[in-house]
Amino acid sequence: MNFRILFTISFIFLACLMAAQSPTTQRGSYLGITGGLGTVWIVGQHNYGVPNFSGVARTAYLGGVVGGVTLKRGHGIHGEVAFSLQKYEYRDVRNIAGQEREVVAGKQLDFVYLRIPLTYRRVIGIKDGDTDIGDSKFFWGAGLDIGALYDVQLEYSINGKPNDNFVFITSYNPNIEFPPPKDRYLVLFNAMDIALTGSFGWEHFLTEHVVFQAELKGTASMMDINDAEWRIKNEADKYTSSRHMMLHLKCSLIYYVNRVKRLDVY
């Protein structure tokens, strides 16, 4: 995990929060918690020379803390620090070398990322006379999502039993020149993932400090998640890069550090 990048992003974000408390800056800094679930998939499956498998739908989870600064007219800067659990499952009936008959070959790939999205956020439809308590608005946001790979689990199986010989042993898979170290599948993937992210949501003021938010968030990786050393060509002598795609429905509960009056903030 590249802690220098994470530290830099966190420092910039905290500096924005501190600046929002300055008398020369409009009030509107907040902190909170967030969590959600959704679906994830990989565009460009990579099996180290073995033909692709059919995907099976799986659920993904995320949870963490949020913070931001809201300025006048609904403009704002929003950030999060969250753990993202991304599970992928694949399964096919295959005729594999060394097996006497067709078998059910499977693959399960579980990622755990520490993700830090930093986005511009805009509240829609600010009008004079809006009140704090009971006031609801829609909002949208867009920005970058930087993920640091925390852990990964990769398991190939035959008829439900773990077996990666048909992938990581040269006699079965001639595309492989050497196997990865056992229990060290982190070497197969890049330590960082940089993605574009966007969201659309709804917020409701519960009190002059507390706001509930619900949003639909999409994220798409811009980088190949596979490590350069493990970008192995398939039987057609081609390599396809792999990228995360995610869609989450998430809820947040945030607390404005200062007592919020909408006409002051917006």
Tens of pLDDT, residue by residue over 112-124, are: 999 999 999 998 8
Q: What is the mean pLDDT of residues 219-236?
A: 90
**Quick check: 11 pLDDT over 80?**
no
The answer to whether the CB of 204 falls within 8 A of the CB of 214 is no
**Quick check: 25 pLDDT over 50?**
no
- pLDDT, one tens digit per residue, over 240-262 is 899 999 999 999 999 988 765 55
Q: Look up the domain containing 205 and give its range.
A: 3-265
Q: What is the pLDDT of residue 220?
A: 96
Q: Can you give the length of the chain in residues?
A: 266
Q: What is the mean pLDDT of residues 3-27?
A: 53
Q: What is the mean pLDDT of residues 68-81?
A: 86
Q: What is the mean pLDDT of residues 95-99?
A: 66
Q: What are phi and psi of 135, to 5 degrees?
A: -85, 135
pLDDT band at 86 (very low <50, low <70, confident <90, very high): very high
- How many other C-beta atoms are found inside a 10 Å radius of the C-beta of residue 133? 10
**Quick check: 77 pLDDT over 80?**
yes
The answer to whether the CB of 251 falls within 8 A of the CB of 36 is yes
Domain count, the chain: 1
Higher-pLDDT residue of 195, 265: 195
Q: What is the pLDDT of residue 8?
A: 58
CA 84/CA 112 separation, integer angstroms? 6
**Quick check: 175 pLDDT over 70?**
yes
pLDDT band at 7 (very low <50, low <70, confident <90, very high): low
Which residues, other chains included, contact 141 with Cβ-Cβ below 8 Å and sequence gap of 6+?
78, 119, 120, 121, 122, 197, 198, 199, 201
Q: Which of 117, 208, 108, 213 is nearest to 158 (CA)?
A: 108
pLDDT band at 70 (very low <50, low <70, confident <90, very high): confident
The answer to whether the CB of 201 falls within 8 A of the CB of 249 is no
The answer to whether the CB of 4 falls within 8 A of the CB of 24 is no
Kindly state the tokens that stand for 158.
């035959």
- The CATH number covering residue 13 comes to 2.40.160.20
Which residues sit opposite 107 in a β-bridge? 90, 156
- pLDDT, one tens digit per residue, over 163-172 is 888 888 887 7
211, with CB counted inside 10 A (0-12, 13-18, 19+), is: buried
Q: What is the pLDDT of residue 165?
A: 83
pLDDT band at 44 (very low <50, low <70, confident <90, very high): confident
- How many other C-beta atoms are found inside a 10 Å radius of the C-beta of residue 235? 11
**Quick check: 234 pLDDT over 60?**
yes
221: helix, coil or strand? Answer: strand
Q: What is the mean pLDDT of residues 236-240?
A: 84
Strand 210-221 with 29-43, pairing: unpaired
DSSP assignment of 13-43:
HHHHHHHTTSTTS-S-EEEEEEEEEEEEEEE
Model pTM?
Answer: 0.83
The answer to whether the CB of 203 falls within 8 A of the CB of 136 is yes
**Quick check: 23 pLDDT over 50?**
no
**Quick check: 68 pLDDT over 80?**
yes
Amino acid present at 255: Y
